[in-house]
Chains A and B, each alone.
Chain A
Amino acid sequence: MRTQAYSRKSESIRKFLYILPFMVLLATFAYFPLYGWVYAFFDYTPPIPLSRSPFVGLKWFHSLVENQVKIDQLLQVLKNTFGMSGLILLFSWLPMIFAVFLNEIKAMRFRKFVQTVTTLPNFISWVLVYSLAFSMFSSEGMVNGLLKQLGLTDSPILFLQSSEHVWITMWMWITWKALGWSAILYIAAITGIDDSLYEAARVDGATRMQLIRHVTLPSLLPTYFVLLMLQIASFLNNGMEQYFVFQNAFNKDTIQVLDLYVYNLAMGGGSYSVSVAISMLKSLISVVLLFSVNGLSKWFRGESIV
């Protein structure tokens, strides 16, 4: 009896030992970087190692707001972050509408074709998107070529160097890349809707638009809600890749989101400690956001997201 319990215990430990190496890897690359936050409290300038850098307490956090220039700069970065994330939230219903109307297309071949083609951009990198953008919109690109041939412009329009409408153009590239892909989830959800709901509505004389409004959309709302909550949780995490590749000397002011700002500060300006301080604040706020939306979800749907 005791040996049986013992062997069960040892089996349980043995199973854990199998996954231990992987947990060590995860701890190294996902948890150990948290230790990097200590750089925010030191005056770290490479190549002097951290161990010989002076401890400065909260100096860098204070320095973020120490004079008007710095405040303005931080405000501009926050404005960009809020602007671009805000646009994404504002149009977060687009994939759902895309799926609903794609479902209305009765020619199966055309539907399949649209779905295949519009999903493709999701699988190319931002560098490639930038390369396509450059080919289409640079001064000798396709759009300027066409405008010139049609006699609409004399000198090329510098789309990519413009500092105006950057939020909107960045949002448009995101949409171009991700719309078809984001719709897949909704398309799958639509196929899961019970056909008898449609039958019943049709018997009552509902038109196509009424079917969409009263049957399809309500069935998709739970999915939409979950995705919206996740988007809110990652409000501050725009990622830097897209903005990095599209950034140039002319649009820098309006394209710098928090993630790019943090990168530019450290890798461009060498201000590692300030950059880590901002990054730390950002991560903490993101966690608070995540817990808040999770709480909201529990309250609304009685189910957590994470």
Chain B
Amino acid sequence: MRNAVRAGAADKTISVLTYALFALFALLCMYPFYYIVINTISANDVSARGDIIFLPRQIHFQNYLDVFKIPGLWNATLISLERTLLGTSLTVGASAFLGFMFTQEDMWGRKFWYRFTVITMFFNAGIIPWYLTMKSLHLTNNFMAYVLPTIVAPFFIILVKTFVESTPKELQQSASIDGAGIMTIFFRIMLPICKPILATVAIFAAVDQWNSFQDTLLLVTDSKLYSLQFILYNYINQASSLSTMVNLQNAGSTAMASLATKQTTTSIRMTVTIIVVAPILLVYPIFQRFFVKGIMIGAVKG
């Protein structure tokens, strides 16, 4: 009896501690985003002093209008959107097709080609040999450099293949007896069935494309092809000159810019940060339910 009571008390302590620790970690994960948001909508002179910590002060939205006056930011937004749209559709299409084809047991050299694909997940030549190769293929300062290398993605192919293998074989067999060719089976039967896993793949692929930074860093010197991530990185390091420039532009158009809406290095940097992270924050609640399924299927053979 006394043992049980003691165990109960210990359980209580553990419970309270568990709740507290998880609440703290959740706060740590959320607060940086919240901090930046409240700073971008507060008076810029107060926020530059680092005084906005819990609640916004003198709320205004001028920063979000001003920030697009920085040359190149709008263009970078378009580049990031384009590569995400094009890259994601090609990757999803290729992953669906290859994942399906690798289940076709009568395909010539199926095992070999599947291994040929999967092994690239564990092995690569290194970043500089890759860069030199891309250069020799004229894929530097070329929009296609963002898209072409991502089309065949082994991890996504594994996801689709595992999914296709879990569907009843009779579906394909009966269609094939009815005289349907492999392409008809793929487009008419497999694609509709694979929708849930393709949604997962699309999310992962889109996030990868949107977040990609290294390829711009290595392969692009033409500022017309800069992605948002790359521009943000540059801004963090040189925000002061940009704020001066926006302020000069504003001084020309309006008679007097008040201190609260005058751009500072802090306001520029934080506003661009929110613009870069916004798409992720907006779609995250929607896609959150997909990826648990995705990572579980991938874990079977990863």
Contacts and interface: CB of A to CB of B under 8 A. Distances in A.
Interface of A: 8, 11-16, 18-19, 22-23, 25-26, 28-37, 39, 101-102, 104-105, 110, 113-114, 116-121, 123-128, 130-132, 134-136, 140-142, 144-146, 148-149, 176, 179-180, 184-185, 187-188, 207-209, 223, 230, 233, 240-241, 244-245, 259, 262-263, 266-267, 272, 275-276, 279-280, 282-283, 286-287, 290, 306
Contact of A290 (B122, B131, B148, B183): B122
A241 B214 CA distance: 7
Given A16-B109, A23-B113, A124 B126 contact: no
A148 B53 CA distance: 12
Contact of A8 (B18, B106, B295): B106
A201 to B, nearest CB: 14
B288 A144 contact: no
Nearest to B28: A176
B116 interface: yes
B295 A184 contact: yes
B213 A241 contact: yes
A66 B149 CA distance: 37
Contacts of A244: 217
A12 B104 CA distance: 9
Given A145-B53, A279-B125, 4 more contacts: A116-B288, A140-B49, A209-B11, A282-B126
Contact of B25 (A118, A185, A272, A282): A118
A16 B107 contact: yes
Contacts of A18: 97, 101, 182-183
B108 A12 contact: yes
Nearest to B270: A135
Given A22-B94, A116-B288, A33 B106 contact: no
B213 A36 contact: no
A259 B126 CA distance: 8
Nearest to B102: A19
A19 B131 CA distance: 26
B35 A209 contact: no
Contact of A39 (B18, B129, B299): B129
Contacts of B152: 22-23, 25-26, 29-30
B236 A32 contact: no
Contact of A32 (B19, B25, B133, B210): B133
B1 interface: no
Contacts of A104: 14-15, 18
Interface of B: 7, 10-11, 14-15, 18-19, 21-23, 25-26, 28-30, 32-33, 35-36, 39, 48-51, 53, 94, 97-98, 101, 104, 106-109, 113, 116-120, 122-133, 137, 148-149, 151-152, 182-183, 207, 210-214, 217-218, 229-230, 232-233, 236, 266, 269-270, 273, 276-277, 280-281, 284-285, 288, 291-292, 295-296, 299, 302
A132 B33 contact: yes
A104 B299 CA distance: 24
Contacts of B32: 132, 135-136
Given A33-B129, A120-B29, A101 B18 contact: yes
17 contacts: A15-B107, A33-B124, A33-B125, A33-B126, A35-B129, A101-B22, A114-B23, A116-B285, A134-B236, A145-B50, A184-B291, A207-B7, A233-B122, A266-B131, A276-B132, A283-B123, A306-B122
Which 7 residue pairs of A and B lie closest in terms of their CB atoms, listed nearest first?
Answer: A36-B129, A145-B50, A279-B126, A125-B211, A33-B125, A30-B120, A16-B108
B232 A113 contact: no
A128 B117 contact: no
A294 to B, nearest CB: 10
Nearest to A132: B32
B129 A37 contact: yes
B187 to A, nearest CB: 13
B106 A11 contact: yes
Contacts of A262: 126-128
B299 A185 contact: yes
A58 to B, nearest CB: 17
Given A39-B132, A118-B29, A240-B214, A283 B124 contact: yes
B267 to A, nearest CB: 11
A130 B35 CA distance: 14
A140 B48 contact: yes
Which one of A16, A125, A287 has the greatest number of beta carbons of chain B within 10 Å? A125
A37 B125 contact: yes
B29 A121 contact: yes
A286 B182 CA distance: 39
Contacts of B232: 127-128, 131
A31 B232 CA distance: 32
Nearest to B299: A185
Contacts of B132: 33, 36, 39, 272, 276
A12 to B, nearest CB: 5
B77 to A, nearest CB: 15
B106 A26 contact: no
Nearest to B273: A131
B295 to A, nearest CB: 6
Contacts of B94: 22
Contacts of B97: 18-19, 22
Contacts of B117: 23, 26
A141 B98 CA distance: 48
